[in-house]
Amino acid sequence: MSRVRHFLRDDDLSPADQDLVLDAAARLAEAPHLASEALRSDAIGLLFEKPSLRTRVSSEVACARLGATPVHLRTDELQLSRGETAEDSVRVLVGYLSLLMARVREHGFLEDLARPDVLPIVNGLSDRFHPLQSLADLLTLRQELGTLAGRRMAFVGDGNNVASSLMLASAMAGLGLVVATPEAYRPPEDVVDRAIELAAASGAEVRLTTDPVDAVKEADAVYTDVWTSMGQEDEEARRRRDLWPYQVNSELIAQAPASAIVLHCLPAHRGDEITDDVLDSERSRVFGQAHNRLPATAALFLFLLEPSLAGRLEEVPWDGDLP
């Protein structure tokens, strides 16, 4: 078997690949059934170590829209606890599946699964990155802003896996990003360094600050996420105290340009990282952003399994009616 493509982190795609996936996602958002038979011979594994609403439903429906068969798996079904290695498991699964998407606790587990010559692995979320989410985010920004290059976004709050993915994806897209966190909550240094490297190539600015007002003052979009992720519940009180000055509320949004939109990857803890009046405001694009998880995921699956078709979706005629 030839070397396969994985999507464990955003920069597993090149900037050109990312643009192609976003173009395909935009087309599938317009015409959901445009590629309805593209993966009819494929089965796609959906492995969930952590619970999910958006990732589970969007990935399952993406399979259905592309004609693929979704196969749900739990990590205990891989029998790792009984001594089977991740390598052996994935070498078995390649006989059944065309691709495996996995939502896991530890990023290292994905790396163990991602053999260079076996089965494409897609990161549905890990403690390090959430690249399927950032594809949906960039799609939403393209729909709202027209272009990404030269635009600016602010991420305010915890420098978590979502922030890390946004740094890489934005840098590749030429989208400026300012991340505002307390010093102790900065994204990992290796991710920051890689984002700066990618930004130098695209002409974007990636910058860190501890001042949320500084972050939002020139932003076309203001983004936040939960302060306490799954697995961090014992830190909730400390995190809430430390991150309270980073709440996205009407006072902070008033410091942003009047045209700035608001994003959140959900689920939201209303009254903590974001207030009701902002989340439900005319500026909010949060639920459209959530809906974009579907075409973004479908486009990524298509790109990994049928890249030539993914690149030709713009040429496929569509008259506005479903087949």
Which residues are tagged catalytic?
103, 130, 133, 225, 265, 293
C-alpha 181/C-alpha 300 separation (Å) is: 30
Tell me if 294 sits within 8 A of 268, measured CB to CB. no
Within 10 angstroms of residue 282's Cβ, the number of other Cβ atoms is 7
Residue 136 token pair: 């949906």
